Structure 1
Amino acid sequence: MLITTQSDRPASARRAVAFCCDGNYLPYALFAASQIAALHPERGFDILLCDTAKLAIPDTLGRHGFRSVQIDTQSVFDGFGVDARRTSAMYLRLALPDALAQDYDRILYLDSDIFVQSGSLSSLLGANLHGHALGAVRDNIQWRTPSRIAPEFKTVGLSNAPYFNSGVLLVDVAEWQRQDILSRAVAIGRDHALMRHDQTLLNIVLHQNWAELSPVWNWQYSAQARLFEPMMDAHIIHFIGSRKPWKDPEGELPPRFAARLAAFLSEHLPGHPTIGTDRSPVLDTGLMRKMLVRHLMNLGKTQRYLSRFPTDTTTYPQERP
């Protein structure tokens, strides 16, 4: 497949952390990228902002040395499904390893709807993938019930297996190319009209063939796991679902997320619409009661899952079929 790139600067390391976003999500990707830069002032990896069009990075962030990469995937993803929450930019993560194979050996892809608060991404980039092309965190549907089968596997006739969330993906580029993962994912996407989102495609292609990472690298913020997050020192919080720090009209998320984002936007993107942070904190007792009950009911199951990861760089290989 012919995929070409243009960049505003050359690669400066053999490893990279990459965001794929369009202009709508660029402010939030820049916020997360800036959090990473602050945590890693002497980093040995590049930080990339990728899109099919040229992205405008504010001059005020120039000190971070972000690399802007424009990726032309030609017609590779033509006809693939999008919806109100997902644009065609989400498929770029599938093309990253092939597009950047000349520059990088390892790529850590991150969604833009995240909050990075701790952890060494340098250590994560060097994690043991046990010969697999991909490392990822299990999707939260299987945190408490690991035997729960993903509907996609049923649809295409695959056996039950661990299923990962695609918001954080650690890629071994050479192995990714050796397994020809992009071509295989595209072929599946074209054959299964209802199964075209990137997470579905990758889970089918890499069925029982990926390395499992600790959930602290992709803490999927939900009513079942939210209260455990501070106790686990989650490094990357991922706002799955429709509620985001910039789109939370009922104030269900803790205000610290919106406050930090609002301060960043005010400094670096002053023309961006204001993030609502002026509400007085109101504890929704009904919501809290439901969350507490869910956490108590799932305490034992959650503990069994979390205890599998004694360190944040513990990884587990999946058994190949």
Structure 2
Amino acid sequence: MQIVLPPPAGFIPLALPLAEHNATNAYATALSGVNHLLPGVKVALYMLYENISDHTMITGRRLFANEQSQIHFVNVSEWMTTYKPTHLETTDRTVFYRLAIPTLFARFPRIIYVDDDIFFKACPSLLYYSVPRTAQIGATRDLLLIPAQTSGFHIPEVIAGGAQLIDYHRGALGVLKSDDYFQDGILIFNTLTINSSQAEECGQLCNTLFWMNEQDILNRVFYSHVHFIHQNWNVCCGPGCAEASQLLPTSWKNIYDEGLVNPFAVHFTGSPKPWNGWNGPYAEQFRQLFDNVSKVAL
């Protein structure tokens, strides 16, 4: 299976999912990171894809082949064919691409992964260096899921018998403390610390039914090996987020509100997104980047 070589010294590696249907917003996410680079910082983008057009690749090179950034296209088709993710009825194939990172980027000391609906407000290098070498994964807690632990929320009956969330976390994932269940929209992989059996488990679990798909898989594999980065690196905004935050315990609510005021990175969760109708915090700023990418793609 393909093993990707690390970028030249001085480049921060950043991986994103790429498909024809998400290319414009994925490139807008990458552009937000490039636009916030500190002086002297460079970024190497690794776009994870299965099938994309030459036009989409050309657009990426127009945007990011310059002194500040470089772009690489990493085909994950072999990994996807090997592990055959199933239960795709409610999700997109691209969500599983991040699970290939421990295998494909095994020679990297470290790499950032971000979803295609992220808006950087700070330099990605600050994120890159936010995790100690002893941790395997850097991530933020899934704050807005915390109220569901004590509200009597049951996951769907087809999954683990419809258990309460806290019991599902313990029984199916081995997440003994639900407060430490992490969100996977922004991740730092310390790939050199991840062993081959963990990388293999990320793939093997792709055809097991989980409630939160790849996020549950990552929590199952890396729980107790995660370093929690500053919550402002993954401030969730989108339909229902403001309402969900009202149910948070006071201490967590204060953290969420602080993140909205001073985010390092905004995560547009849920649907619709800023580029197809949602208007909320930072949506207009992201749409400007989306429009910039669209003009380059013409």
TM-score (norm 1): 0.70
What pairs with 1:7-26 in structure 2 (closer than 5 Å)?
A: 11-13=7-9, 15-26=12-23
Distance, in Å, in 2 between the alignment partners of 1:253 and 1:46 is 28
Distance, in Å, in 2 between the alignment partners of 1:113 and 1:81 is 22
In the other structure, the counterpart of 2:293 is 265
Deviates more, 1:53-62 or 1:209-218: 53-62
Deviations 1:127-162 (A, max 9, x none): 233622101000023567888855641452733341
Cα 1:184–1:79, aligned 2, differ >3 Å: closer, same or farther?
closer
Is the Cα–Cα contact under 8 Å of residues 22 and 51 in structure 1 kept in the other structure? Answer: yes
Q: RMSD value over aligned CA atoms? A: 3.0
Deviations 1:253-310 (A, max 9, x none): 665235413431342124xxxxxxxxxxxxxxxxxxxxxxxxxxxxxxxxxxxxxxxx
Which letter maps to 1:237? V
Is the Cα–Cα contact under 8 Å of residues 20 and 111 in structure 1 kept in the other structure? Answer: yes
In the other structure, the counterpart of 2:137 is 134
Structure 1 gaps of 5+ residues are 271-321
Structure with higher Rg: it is 1
Q: Which has the higher helix share?
A: 2
What pairs with 1:126-165 in structure 2 (closer than 5 Å)?
A: 126-129=129-132, 131-141=134-144, 150=166, 152-156=168-172, 158=174, 159-161=176-178, 162-165=180-183
Is the Cα–Cα contact under 8 Å of residues 15 and 105 in structure 1 kept in the other structure? Answer: no
% identity of equivalent residues: 18
**SS of residue paired to 1:165:** strand
Which letter maps to 1:16? P
In the other structure, the counterpart of 1:302 is none
- How many aligned residue pairs are there? 259
Is the Cα–Cα contact under 8 Å of residues 115 and 237 in structure 1 kept in the other structure? Answer: yes
Of 265, 278, 283, the match for 1:236? 265
Structure 2 gaps of 5+ residues are 152-164, 246-252
Of 106, 110, 120, the match for 1:106? 110
Cα 1:255–1:99, aligned 2, differ >3 Å: closer, same or farther?
closer
**SS of residue paired to 1:29:** helix
Which letter maps to 2:284? R
In the other structure, the counterpart of 1:81 is 87
Is the Cα–Cα contact under 8 Å of residues 110 and 168 in structure 1 kept in the other structure? Answer: yes
Which letter maps to 1:239? F
TM-score (norm 2): 0.75
Is the Cα–Cα contact under 8 Å of residues 12 and 44 in structure 2 kept in the other structure? Answer: yes
Is the Cα–Cα contact under 8 Å of residues 110 and 190 in structure 2 kept in the other structure? Answer: yes
